[in-house]
Amino acid sequence: MRAVLLAGVFALVVVAYQKNFQHVIDKAAAKGTVADPAGLLSRDDRAWVLAQAADLRRRFGLELAVRLGGNPAPPRPDDPKTVFLAYDPACRESRVVLPPLVASALPAGFADDLGREHLDAACRDGRGREGTLAALGLLIDTLDQAAGRGKGETQ
């Protein structure tokens, strides 16, 4: 009987350790550039997002935080360097949060439209992956256009 109880306690300890370890891993992943608990992105998609993040950092000095599912914590409202893209698997509360200076250089309501009209709409159509990649691509293209206007280039 003691052996069975000891084995049961040991099994509970192993399960608790695994759950805690997974929680720590999830928490650490949520602090990186891409956190994908929803499992939307392939390895190639993730590599593309990371390349876009490196390009945003190099060209504009901006950090990119992409959260696909889970409970994403948005950046601080006064964070002047983080572009935050959060995909909601329930298709209701996806959002894009831009630093104030970046938001002022883009069309009014642009970030809200990306969240609502691109991410949530794609989610409802069952195309969350495509919507996420398209929203990020559209954001980068719009930033490029704003930078061109700022330099006096015509398009």
Which domain CATH number covers 47?
A: 3.10.310.50
Residue 3 lies in a domain: no
Residue 7 lies in a domain: no
Residue 83 lies in a domain: yes
Residue 11 lies in a domain: no
Contact partners, residue 135, CB within 8 Å, separation at least 6: 85, 96, 114, 115, 118, 119, 122
How large is the average pLDDT for residues 48-58?
A: 90
Residue 2 lies in a domain: no
Distance CA(83)–CA(102), nearest Å, equals 9
Mean pLDDT of the chain: 85
Residue 25 lies in a domain: no
pLDDT on residue 76 = 62
How large is the average pLDDT for residues 150-154?
A: 59
Residue 20 lies in a domain: no
pLDDT on residue 4 = 92
Q: What is 71-139 written as a DSSP string? A: -PPPPPTT-SSEEEEEE-TTSS--EEE--HHHHHHS-TTHHHHIIIIIIIHHHHTT-HHHHHHHHHHHH
Contact of 123 with 89, CB cutoff 8 Å: yes
pLDDT band at 21 (very low <50, low <70, confident <90, very high): confident
pLDDT on residue 18 = 86
Residue 122 lies in a domain: yes
Q: Which two tokens stand for residue 140?
A: 């980068």
Answer yes or no: is pLDDT of 128 > 60: yes
Task: Among 1-15, 86-100, 139-153, name the one with the lowest average pLDDT.
Answer: 139-153
Domain range spanning residue 37?
31-150
Answer yes or no: is pLDDT of 140 > 70: yes
Q: How many domains does the chain have?
A: 1
